[in-house]
Amino acid sequence: MSVLVAVSDDDQYETVLDVAVQLAAGLGQQLVVTHITETDSASGDERAFRNDLQSYLSTVDVPVEVSLDHLDRSGFREGTAVGKQLLELAERVDIDHIVLGYRSKDRLQTLREGHTGFTVAQEAAVPVTIVPEGVG
């Protein structure tokens, strides 16, 4: 069984990873880290970020698997679509817990994009930890 953590190449990923590592260690589980790519084949920047993730996690005391996963962001309410696809990924990989970051949006952004975290929290069959922006 595993803890799934979804990260983006932003200024919050290290905090999200730290929370996920602590959770996986406390539960005695493997950490499955996924970085969502925008295209079917990962770009050089996305592969470099995956390598940065592996380097950042190289000293943790839990087993870690890092992957790049293409999730479709096209169309209306892309955050909601990504959330649903994360849930499908969680079902395929036999996940016990999901960890992801959260960044607040104004009403127009929420209407246009949806919220990945809200979608996952509402529909997941496993516990979900949402790490808000600004947690240190």
Task: Please report, for the domain that includes residue 23, its CATH number.
Answer: 3.40.50.620
Q: What is the pLDDT of residues 33-92, one digit of tens each?
A: 988 776 666 678 888 888 888 999 999 999 999 887 765 555 545 667 778 888 888 888
- Those residues with Cβ within 8 angstroms of residue 86's Cβ, 6 or more apart along the chain or in another chain: 4, 6, 34, 71, 98, 100, 116, 120
Residue 16: C-alpha distances to residues 21, 44, 55, 57 (Å):
9, 23, 16, 12
What is the reported pLDDT for 76?
A: 47
Cα gap 91→74, rounded to integer Å: 22
What is the extent of the structural domain holding 6? 2-132
* Model pLDDT for residues 6-24, shown as the tens digit of each residue: 888 778 889 999 999 999 9
Q: How many domains does the chain have?
A: 1
Nearest to 73 by CA among 61, 81, 64, 65: 81
